Amino acid sequence: MILEAFESVVIPELTNDFKTNIENLFTSNHKQAIYRHVQRVATTNSEIAEKFHLNKEVCIQAAYCHDIAGIINENHMLQYARDYNMPLDVAEEKYPFLLHQRFSALLAMDMFKINDERILSAIAYHSTLKSNPSQYDMALFVADKLSWDQDGAPPYLQIIQSEIDKSLYHASLAYIEFVLNHNMILYPHHWLVEAYEWLKMYRCDGFN
Asked if the 2-207 domain carries CATH number 1.10.3210.10, the reply is yes
208: pLDDT strictly greater than 60: no
pLDDT (average), residues 176-194: 96
**pLDDT grade for 151, boundaries at 50, 70 and 90:** confident
What is the rounded average pLDDT of the residues 39-48? Answer: 98
Domain ranges of the chain: 2-207
- The pLDDT value given to residue 6: 96
Across the chain, mean pLDDT equals: 95
Task: Write down the pTM of the prediction.
Answer: 0.95
Distances (CA, A) of 41 to 64, 80, 131, 188: 8, 27, 22, 23
Each residue of 155-170: pLDDT tens digit? 999 999 999 999 999 9
